[in-house]
Each structure stands twice: as structure tokens, then as C-alpha cells.
Chain A
Amino acid sequence: MRHIISILLENEPGALSRVVGLFSQRNFNIETLNVAPTEDPSLSRLTVTTVGDDRVIEQITKHLNKLIDVVKLVDLTEGNHIERELMLVKVKALGASRDEVKRTADIFRAQIVDVTPSVYTVQITGDAGKLDAFVQAMAPIGILEVARTGVSGIARGDKLLSL
């Protein structure tokens, strides 16, 4: 099963490599990875999506917790949560397909954020499934380049991941 694990990490050199290294060292798998500083400059928030049965996920969270740089973590998939990813896509926009790209972007509530005579750059946010669907819809028209941020997420309601 797919899990989204969010980690508060010391904003120290080498901390990220310890997290990433752990996954390869223990033969765990990373699907997406997203990391950026938080409102507290001493902490980064890292979100990783991974796939594994309960036993594997238990090992992943235990080993992550063991890293000295990991301050706190939560498996968001254990409760209600919001999952978002941002994607920028360059699509061919020539002739009849120029309108088609615009219409499809509207349907997905995506925005065209850059324009040239032959290319539209589309920005879209949503969960990973929505982004996959958009890529599928655009594929026949001609995708030139895709940049995805990887999943970020947060728990619904009052639940917090903070110190």
C-alpha cells in the first residue's frame, strides 16, 4: 500500500542524505520526495511517498525515527489528510490543438502560465491521481516536458506535525 510520510528534519547539512541513504541502504522504496524549510528556520519538512506492506512501513518509520536528525514524523495515510502536488507541463500548442490544450486545462482547473506561438506551459495542482490523469489527457496532443514537485501533504483538522 502507498503511504505518505511527513518528517520534520533538522535543517543541517547531511541530514537529507541520511534520510535518502536509509531508504537505499535498507532496500525501502521512494516514489516521490519533497523537501523545503518550514516557518522555523532550524527545521525542514520532508514528505516522502513509499509503497510497502504494514511490516515494511513499520520498519521505515522506526528506522527514520532512529536517525538523530529526524525530530518528528507522521504517516499521513493513517488518518484523513490533504495531499497536493504541483506540476508544470510544456505542451505543443499549434493549429487546432492550441484550443484543445486550453479547453483541457480549463476542465482540470489548470492555468496556462507561459505562452509562445508554439508552446503552452500549464500549471496544475492536485493529488497524484489528478496529475496522472492530466498527463494522460495531454499525451495525444504532445507533451514536451514535465516537472512535478512530488507529493506534499498535511493532516486534516486540528492534528499538527510540529514541536
Chain B
Amino acid sequence: MELLSGADMIARFLKDEGVEHIYGYPGGAALHIYDALFRQDSVKHILVRHEQAATHAADGYARATGKPGVVLVTSGPGATNAVTGIATAYMDSIPMVVLCGQVMSHLIGEDAFQETDIVGVTRPVVKHSFSIKHPSEIPEVLKKAFYLAATGRPGPVLVDIPKDMTSPTERYEYVYPKKVKIRSYNPVTRGHTGQIKKAVDMMLKARRPVFYTGGGIITGRASEALTDLVQRLGFPITTTLMGIGGFPQGDRCSLGWLGMHGSYEANMAMHHADLIIAIGARFDDRVTNNTSKFCPTAKIVHVDIDPSSISKTVRADVPIVGAAGSVIDEMISLLQDREPASPDALTEWWKTIDDWRAEREGKLYEPSKPGEALKPQEVIEAVYRATRGEAFVTTDVGQHQMFAAQYYKFAKPNRFITSGGLGTMGFGFPAAMGVKLNFPQDDVVCFTGEGSFQMMMQELSTCKQFDVGVKIVNLNNQSLGMVRQWQDLNYKSRHAHSYMESLPDFAKLIEAYGFTAIKVTTFAELEPALERAFADTNELVFLDIYVDPFEHVYPMQVPLGSMRDMLLSKTERT
């Protein structure tokens, strides 16, 4: 029998759970835990410079690996600083465990120094939360937290730990719980076979089918199975922003991603489809546009692990509650030896889709001419070439995010890491750190803008301390590009606070931390700068790339319209 203090139990549990990195920031209520971490060397603690960055770094790690990211913060401001990152993970169903220090239990409720009811504050943005009531329950509660975070529909789980629970003088028996059971929590795995049969029959009869898949394919590790299913059937497929990489974008069946800034052919195909097979996607408002005009001729099969996602915004004709992977496997086995009822209809459907593709071919954006400002799109394409399409890509939020999603073509899952649901500016850089620390051999690129980067740029210091060699590509348009775009379209170009006056000299800023920065203003400078930036995978390089501030992201769905109502450029609309 081993007797450990609560703090030592936490350190020991993290080791036994196989956690390699935790991201955090110390403070009074967490000091016993930090002392326990100091006295061991299995779990490496990454000291960030702001707690929000700790959650984003853990989140980036979780998105790249599929395993829960772990965060440790102190009570009060430490915990409240983490809230944005917890909400980001919640909206995108990312597994995360957040350990929060709390004031001593006898002080709770007395407005003690650095006290916040963090369980209350985070209640709407966590999958579940726990408060430790006795040190002896620490191993079991932590196991439950990891179990809840990673299973079913994943999400962040918060554990509130009053300081006296980790006191070094009180020791209790420690046993690593290999398994836990929660009587009210039994996430489904297999879907209902009758429903899956029904769906397969509809798929074989469909004349204009489209797969519409989301982040559930990535978190459910179902991308191989999905690729097999789609290629067998030869159906077109579009993914959500969160689902990018769930199906190889270079494949002929891929229509790219859909929704507000999705591809023309994807949105057109959705609108004209007679069957939509949605898997691990949630019919988000950035996808459907006006739900009353959404896909008027389509029957909808909706596969999701979370029953509350089904028929939430758009009514499903065939709801299937189950894990993406097992449902797809069952679909594949039901399809053995069966052929589509009308292959000619599918050929005709592809002809229509290819016509849509051809309509926009070569018209997606106008490349810069010599002497003109660079186009953000061509920068993304150049980075794609420089990294052979194999980098981990994180983004911040705004125009650069959409351009990255449109012009960097992903062949694999877990490679495109972006805040889709919450749209958190400041996410990209710390998320890139979390990825890079765990994939030191890979190129990790953060596409960002001056607005987003300045929200988390203090993390340069973390990168210096831990030698984190991410590549930061700042698409510098001297404005908050997406805000400005909306102001151009909806507010007669009144640019209320969307400009960025008094930008720092980024090169000097980066150099102050001892890193390399390269300023790029012309197309001729771009390729050599990228070559220099990617010469050493483990060197942090900041590319400050000046791009055309007047560029807009297109296509852009027209508000309150249907899927096919899009602006295609500043002068064209459907």
C-alpha cells in the first residue's frame, strides 16, 4: 500500500495515465501540486505566459493526437483566464482535462483571496466538472475526468481542487484506477442496425447523393473507413470546416468544404441533392445558411454520437445515434455485393457537378500582378508547396483562417487545427506550440493575422524557454480583415475600428525574443523567404507578409438565403 499526499497523487496519476505534457501556470492555490510536479520527472510541465494559452496549447495537442490535453491553473484569475480556451474546446468537442486550484475548502464562499466559483463560471462550457471533497477521492475523480473527456462526444472536463486537498502532510492510499464506471453515462457505440439498413437502401436508390461529414470523423478516428465508403460508392463528399482532412481533398470525390465560405460546387451540390448523408456534423448555422431554405429536395440521413445534435436545427429523416466509425463499417458490410439502382443517374449527377467545378475553374481569385500587393490566397498556396502539403496547420480566426482552409489542401485528418465553433482569435499560436512540442519532427505552421497574433503574442517567451520551432505566417493586411469585409458589404465600408493603426515592427519584436523574422512585401521575395523559413524544422521563424488589404473571402453565402445563394466575387453572385 502506498501513501501519498493529494498533490503527489495528482502527479502520480498523470504519469500512470500516460500524460507526457501538461500546460499551466502556477499560483497560490496550486502550489502543492507544482511542488509535487517539481519532485518528479515523468510529466513535463510547459509554463505558458497566460492561462488562455495553456488551454489552447492543450487543445492543439488534443486535436493533433486525439488524446486529452491537460491544463493546470491556479484559482481565481488563473481559472477565469482559462475560460475562453475551455469554451473553445467545448464548441469543437475536443477532449481536455483542466485541473484548477481552489482556495482552502473552509474559505469557499467567503470571497477569499483569488476565489472564484469556477465550477459555476464554466458550467455551460464543460462536458462535466468535479470538485474534490476529500484527498482520497483524487485518483478516482481524475480517472472519471479523463474517461468523460475522451469518450462519447468528447469535451473539456474541469476538476476544482481546494488547496487543503493537496496538503503535503495528509497522506492516503493511492491505487491507479484502471477502470471507472459512471452509472448515468453509457455512451453509445454501435448504431441501430435497422436504421443503418434503411440508410443504405436510400443510398443505393439515390440519384443525387452527397456526403456531408464533420469533426466527428476526426475525433471518431473514422477517416479511413469514410474514405473507403465514399470511394466504393463514388459519391461526392463535402466536409465542414471541422471535418477538413477527414477525407483526402485531392480525391476526385472531394468537393472541398461547405457553408458560408465553402466551395461553389459543394454548396450547389448540397442544394440540389436528393440525399444528404451527414456523419459527425451538426448542421451548424455557418453551414446551413437559412434552415427553412436548406436543401429543399433532400432526404437526410444523420449519423451522430450525440442524440441532441440530431434534428436540432434540421429535421433528420433517418436519425442514427452511433459512433461514426462503427456505423460506417456497418454500412460498408451492408453494401457488399450490392450496386446502386441507377448508375446512370450518378453519372449524370457527376456531370452536373463537374460543370459547376468548371464554371469557377481559374476564377477563384486574381493573382497579384508584378508591383501589386501579394494576395493572401497565393501566400497560402506557396506555403502549401513549400511544406509539400504535409505540415500541421493551425490558424487564428478571420480571413486568413478561411483562406488557409480554402487553399491548403489536406490529405490527412488531425492536420488542420482551427477554432471552428467558438471562433477564438488568439487560438492559433498557442495551439501550434501544443502540436509542435509533441511532433518535433514535423513542420507546424500557424497562419495568423496582426489582430489575432497580438492577442497571444506573449507566448513567444514560452517558445524561447522550451525551444518550440513553429512557423508563424502573419498575413499582414493592416486591418481586421473579416470585420472589414463585413463592413464593406453591410455598412457601406464604414470601417469602425477594424483598422490596425500603430502596428509594432514585428521584425524587431520577434528579434527581441531571439528569433528570426522575415518581412515580405512582393511576390519575388515570397519563395526565397519560405525556403529560408522552412530550412530548419525546429527553428521558430516569423514571416510578416504584407498582403492586399482590400481582398475579400469568396464564395460567401448571402445572409438568410439558401445554400446556393452566394457572392462569388466583388461583382458576381449566383
> Cβ of B311 and Cβ of A58 under 8 Å apart?
yes
Binary A-proximity of B298-336 (CB < 8 A = 1, otherwise 0) = 000000001110011001000000000000000000000
- Which of the candidate stretches A11-19, A91-99, A106-114, A154-162 sits at the interface with the other chain? A11-19
- Which of the candidate stretches A68-76, A82-90, A136-144 sits at the interface with the other chain? A68-76
A116 interface residue, CB < 8 Å from B? no
Distance A68 CA – B145 CA, assembled complex (angstroms): 11
Nearest 3 pairs of A and B residues by beta carbon: A62-B308, A71-B184, A68-B128
Distance A1 CA – B128 CA, assembled complex (angstroms): 31
Binary A-proximity of B185-199 (CB < 8 A = 1, otherwise 0) = 100000000000000
> Cβ of B306 and Cβ of A66 under 8 Å apart?
yes
A21 interface residue, CB < 8 Å from B? yes
Binary A-proximity of B102-138 (CB < 8 A = 1, otherwise 0) = 0000000000000000011001100111010000000
Contact partner, A66, options B123, B124, B308, Cβ 8 Å: B308
> Cβ of A70 and Cβ of B124 under 8 Å apart?
no
Between A and B, 10 residue pairs with Cβ closer than 8 Å are A10-B184, A21-B124, A59-B312, A63-B308, A66-B307, A66-B308, A68-B127, A69-B184, A71-B183, A163-B183
Binary B-proximity of A46-78 (CB < 8 A = 1, otherwise 0) = 000000000100110011011011111000000
> Cβ of A14 and Cβ of B308 under 8 Å apart?
no
Contact partner, A17, options B123, B306, B312, B315, Cβ 8 Å: B123
Q: A13-B131, A72-B184 are in contact. List 5 more A-B contacts (CB 8 A).
A: A17-B123, A55-B315, A63-B308, A65-B308, A66-B306
Give the nearest-CB partner of A63 in chain B. Answer: B308
User: Nearest Cβ distance between residue A7 and chain B, in whole angstroms?
Assistant: 11
B535 interface residue, CB < 8 Å from A? no
Q: Chain A residues with Cβ under 8 A from B182's Cβ? A: 68
Distance A78 CA – B127 CA, assembled complex (angstroms): 29
Distance A62 CA – B153 CA, assembled complex (angstroms): 14
Distance A21 CA – B129 CA, assembled complex (angstroms): 14
Distance A63 CA – B311 CA, assembled complex (angstroms): 12
Distance A63 CA – B312 CA, assembled complex (angstroms): 11
> Cβ of A65 and Cβ of B307 under 8 Å apart?
yes
Distance A72 CA – B185 CA, assembled complex (angstroms): 10
> Cβ of B307 and Cβ of A14 under 8 Å apart?
no
Q: Chain B residues with Cβ under 8 A from A118's Cβ? A: none
Distance A44 CA – B179 CA, assembled complex (angstroms): 26
- CB neighbors of A among B140-186 (8 A): 148, 182-185
Q: Chain B residues with Cβ under 8 A from A14's Cβ? A: 119, 129, 131
User: Nearest Cβ distance between residue A75 and chain B, in whole angstroms?
Assistant: 15
Q: Chain B residues with Cβ under 8 A from A65's Cβ? A: 307-308
Number of interface residues of A (CB under 8 A): 20
Give the nearest-CB partner of A55 in chain B. Answer: B311
User: Nearest Cβ distance between residue B86 and chain A, in whole angstroms?
Assistant: 15
- CB neighbors of A among B189-223 (8 A): none
User: Nearest Cβ distance between residue B269 and chain A, in whole angstroms?
Assistant: 27
Q: How many residue pairs at the A-B interface have CB separations less than 8 Å?
A: 36
Give the nearest-CB partner of B183 in chain A. Answer: A71
Contact partner, A59, options B124, B148, B184, B308, Cβ 8 Å: B308
Distance A72 CA – B128 CA, assembled complex (angstroms): 17
> Cβ of A68 and Cβ of B184 under 8 Å apart?
yes
Distance A71 CA – B127 CA, assembled complex (angstroms): 15
Number of interface residues of B (CB under 8 A): 19
A27 interface residue, CB < 8 Å from B? no
Binary B-proximity of A15-39 (CB < 8 A = 1, otherwise 0) = 0011001000100000000000000
Distance A10 CA – B130 CA, assembled complex (angstroms): 13
User: Nearest Cβ distance between residue A136 and chain B, in whole angstroms?
Assistant: 39
User: Nearest Cβ distance between residue B247 and chain A, in whole angstroms?
Assistant: 28
> Cβ of B123 and Cβ of A18 under 8 Å apart?
yes
Do A25 and B128 form a contact, CB below 8 Å, given A65-B307, A66-B308, A68-B148?
A: no
> Cβ of A62 and Cβ of B129 under 8 Å apart?
no
Distance A68 CA – B311 CA, assembled complex (angstroms): 21
Give the nearest-CB partner of B309 in chain A. Answer: A62
- The listed residue with most A CB atoms (<10 A of its CB), out of B120, B128, B129, is B128
Q: Chain A residues with Cβ under 8 A from B123's Cβ? A: 17-18, 21
- The listed residue with most A CB atoms (<10 A of its CB), out of B120, B123, B127, B148, is B123
Distance A63 CA – B123 CA, assembled complex (angstroms): 14
Binary A-proximity of B260-271 (CB < 8 A = 1, otherwise 0) = 000000000000
Q: Chain A residues with Cβ under 8 A from B185's Cβ? A: 68
Distance A57 CA – B486 CA, assembled complex (angstroms): 36
> Cβ of B184 and Cβ of A17 under 8 Å apart?
no
Q: Chain A residues with Cβ under 8 A from B124's Cβ? A: 21, 25
- The listed residue with most B CB atoms (<10 A of its CB), out of A14, A65, A69, A71, is A14
Q: Chain B residues with Cβ under 8 A from A10's Cβ? A: 184
Distance A69 CA – B308 CA, assembled complex (angstroms): 16
Give the nearest-CB partner of A64 in chain B. Answer: B308
User: Nearest Cβ distance between residue B93 and chain A, in whole angstroms?
Assistant: 12
User: Nearest Cβ distance between residue A47 and chain B, in whole angstroms?
Assistant: 18
User: Nearest Cβ distance between residue B125 and chain A, in whole angstroms?
Assistant: 9
Q: Chain B residues with Cβ under 8 A from A55's Cβ? A: 311, 315
User: Nearest Cβ distance between residue A73 and chain B, in whole angstroms?
Assistant: 10
Distance A163 CA – B185 CA, assembled complex (angstroms): 13
User: Nearest Cβ distance between residue A120 and chain B, in whole angstroms?
Assistant: 40
Binary A-proximity of B18-44 (CB < 8 A = 1, otherwise 0) = 000000000000000000000000000
Distance A52 CA – B129 CA, assembled complex (angstroms): 29
Binary A-proximity of B277-313 (CB < 8 A = 1, otherwise 0) = 0000000000000000000000000000011100110
User: Nearest Cβ distance between residue A14 and chain B, in whole angstroms?
Assistant: 6
Distance A15 CA – B443 CA, assembled complex (angstroms): 45
> Cβ of A70 and Cβ of B184 under 8 Å apart?
yes
Distance A68 CA – B315 CA, assembled complex (angstroms): 26
Distance A63 CA – B184 CA, assembled complex (angstroms): 13
Give the nearest-CB partner of A8 in chain B. Answer: B184
Q: Chain A residues with Cβ under 8 A from B148's Cβ? A: 68
- The listed residue with most A CB atoms (<10 A of its CB), out of B148, B182, B183, B308, is B308
User: Nearest Cβ distance between residue B440 and chain A, in whole angstroms?
Assistant: 36
User: Nearest Cβ distance between residue B293 and chain A, in whole angstroms?
Assistant: 18
Q: Chain A residues with Cβ under 8 A from B307's Cβ? A: 62, 65-66
Distance A151 CA – B355 CA, assembled complex (angstroms): 61
